Structure 1
């Protein structure tokens, strides 16, 4: 998760050229399903194709197939063509993105997993994240949508992580991480809730309320909305020292 890379035999393999990288991404994010030539042309040149797009596509397909053959000279080609288009053949576990999303799905399906085990699994999975998805590579609508989808998965995984960290009483340890995340991401009420709880449990009620006010301002300025009823309940709980915010309580009760 991050810049597009291929690992072969334990070594990092370079894919040269923006179009070659974009071709790889466009095929990979379709998880083994075929892409038609027209879809590939639209994605690779983002609505501004060369004079002869079919020939240009075939040239890039041939170059990409040759590069894959260099990596696996004795194996069947991973780039396959059918009547419905081109697809890239790979096993689900060979793609970091699938492992990342798979962990998130598993954690969601096991809400009763011991928090220490959940934290370990989630932290390990976060090691797969190496920076912005596809880095600074420019792509069409398919790549942009995939990048946004993976970023949403990352935020969801982080939210699960910090819920479990709070269950373990590690409120002080996660305050710096949450502050940084909120600073660099768009307005995120779930992360704000978690930071407010962490600060309150660390004996910093004033700071927790300041975080709420800052989020209120960001929501109004950047989106034009007010905090959700749930986030407002967190503010009231902090003002009234609600027992649901105690260290041994489940703060997620405020969502119900």
Structure 2
């Protein structure tokens, strides 16, 4: 049985440990097939992803050579497997991978389960989300980002990662752990300065920690950044948090957490 990791540089594991997929073209080929989630990928797409503008003269033969090489490599790693993982179809090439065999699918599954319980069982959701986020080893595909298909998939997984972080902070706030996550929240806000949800969560955590002035300063800096960099005003949601802090709204207290610490 093989397992594949793409939340970071591509890794392939067998029961005995990590194995190498040599060559950038072979690694790119495998990456495209993995992010296609079991759907067939056309030969034209594979050629574009693998070679970009440096397409070989005989691209059909070149692609076939790499397909055959990949098929042999996968077979050598699973000698007891009766059918090839890599098959050809009328619409292209398909890699058979179960959700349990790829880290990205496992990550999304944990996040989805956490979404269903974050409002009612926040402590349990925290465990799921921290486990999910710990699966990330770096940027998707690491130093070999691939072509447009791989880059689009990478951007999508990155968005899911940020969403998981937002859910994590919602759960931590609902569990009353505002003081313990202040450093994490500040890092998330600094790393994603235009993402308003992190700003809201940081403001709430600061306010609950007895730091109303810092919470309002955070809002003012966010307002200035939004205005100067993209020419927009803070969202109604962010403005409502500022108003609640100014008025000491009871909805900011832990017992009324669902009002403002919602999962969007």
TM-score, normalized by length of structure 2? 0.91
What corresponds to 2:107 in structure 1?
100
Q: For the residues of structure 2 that align with 1:138 and 1:52, how far apart are their CA atoms?
A: 25
Q: Is the 8 A contact 2:170 2:261 kept in 1?
A: no
What corresponds to 1:49 in structure 2?
55
Which secondary structure state, in structure 2, belongs to the residue aligned with residue 200 of structure 1?
Answer: helix
1:105-116 alignment to 2 at 5 Å? Answer: 105-116=112-123
1:236-251 alignment to 2 at 5 Å? Answer: 236-250=243-257
Q: Is the 8 A contact 1:103 1:125 kept in 2?
A: yes
TM-aligned CA deviation for residue 254 of structure 1: 7.8
TM-score, normalized by length of structure 1? 0.93
Q: For the residues of structure 2 that align with 1:129 and 1:34, how far apart are their CA atoms?
A: 26
Aligned length: 256
What corresponds to 2:129 in structure 1?
122
TM-aligned CA deviation for residue 251 of structure 1: 5.2
Q: Is the 8 A contact 2:111 2:128 kept in 1?
A: no
- Structure 1 unaligned segments of length 5 or more: list them: none
Q: For the residues of structure 2 that align with 1:206 and 1:243, how far apart are their CA atoms?
A: 18
Q: 1:106 to 1:37 in 2, by over 3 A?
A: same
Q: Is the 8 A contact 2:87 2:93 kept in 1?
A: yes
What corresponds to 1:74 in structure 2?
80
What corresponds to 1:194 in structure 2?
201
Q: For the residues of structure 1 that align with 2:109 and 2:38, how far apart are their CA atoms?
A: 16
Q: For the residues of structure 2 that align with 1:186 and 1:134, how far apart are their CA atoms?
A: 24
Match of 2:147 among 124, 127, 140: 140
1:225-236 alignment to 2 at 5 Å? Answer: 225-236=232-243
Q: 1:233 to 1:4 in 2, by over 3 A?
A: same
Which secondary structure state, in structure 2, belongs to the residue aligned with residue 203 of structure 1?
Answer: coil
What corresponds to 1:159 in structure 2?
166
Q: 1:222 to 1:45 in 2, by over 3 A?
A: farther
Q: Is the 8 A contact 1:46 1:139 kept in 2?
A: no
What corresponds to 1:35 in structure 2?
41
TM-aligned CA deviation for residue 46 of structure 1: 2.5
Q: 1:218 to 1:21 in 2, by over 3 A?
A: farther
Q: Is the 8 A contact 1:230 1:254 kept in 2?
A: no
What corresponds to 1:16 in structure 2?
22
- Structure 2 unaligned segments of length 5 or more: list them: 1-6
